[in-house]
Amino acid sequence: MMIKKVEELVGIDRETIRFYIREGLLAPEQLKNRYREYTADDISQIKRIRVLRKMGMSIPEIRAVFNKDMEFDVALKESKEKLQKKQEELSASMKACDELMGTDPKEFDPLPYYSEENDE
């Protein structure tokens, strides 16, 4: 199938698909006319990549897992730890929102809520 159909099936744009190819995560067959032919296995691979990305894995981590340079269980454990940290940060932010409701934005004391490591 062609890239347009793949976009529809997996819900991502062609630039993301091409990015996965450049990153070595996906290798669809290239036809003589330079179009790529995507198979059901390619679709499954894209879906695996998307699941792992949603679980917080970086592209280099996914590549390492697929190339067997990193144990999948190790990558999953690291991803879970990152997600737990993010969950804790989100919980603290939600608590701060509740605490600051009804206060003047120019008057509240930022010190209890400020952390340099979480600066954006």
State which residues form the domain around 96.
1-101
- Mean of per-residue pLDDT scores for the chain: 93
Q: How many CB atoms lie within 10 A of CB 7?
A: 15
Average pLDDT over residues 67-81: 97
Number of structural domains (the chain) is 1
Q: Rounded to an integer, what distance in angstroms lies between the CA atom of residue 51 and that of residue 27?
A: 18
Q: Which two tokens stand for residue 67?
A: 């190339």
Residue 110 lies in a domain: no
Q: Per the domain annotation, does 109 fall within a domain?
A: no
pLDDT, average across residues 87-93: 94
Instruction: Read off the pLDDT band of 90 (50, 70, 90).
Output: very high
Residue 120 has pLDDT above 70, yes or no: no
Whole-structure pTM value:
0.80
The domain that contains 20 carries what CATH number? 1.10.1660.10
pLDDT digits (tens, 9 = 90+) for 5-17: 999 999 999 999 9
Over the stretch 26-56, which tens digit does the pLDDT of each residue have? 999 988 888 899 999 999 999 999 999 999 9
Average pLDDT over every residue of 97-101? 95
Residue 111, in any domain of the structure: no
Q: What's the pLDDT band for 4 if we cut at 50, 70, 90?
A: very high
d(CA 2, CA 39): 9
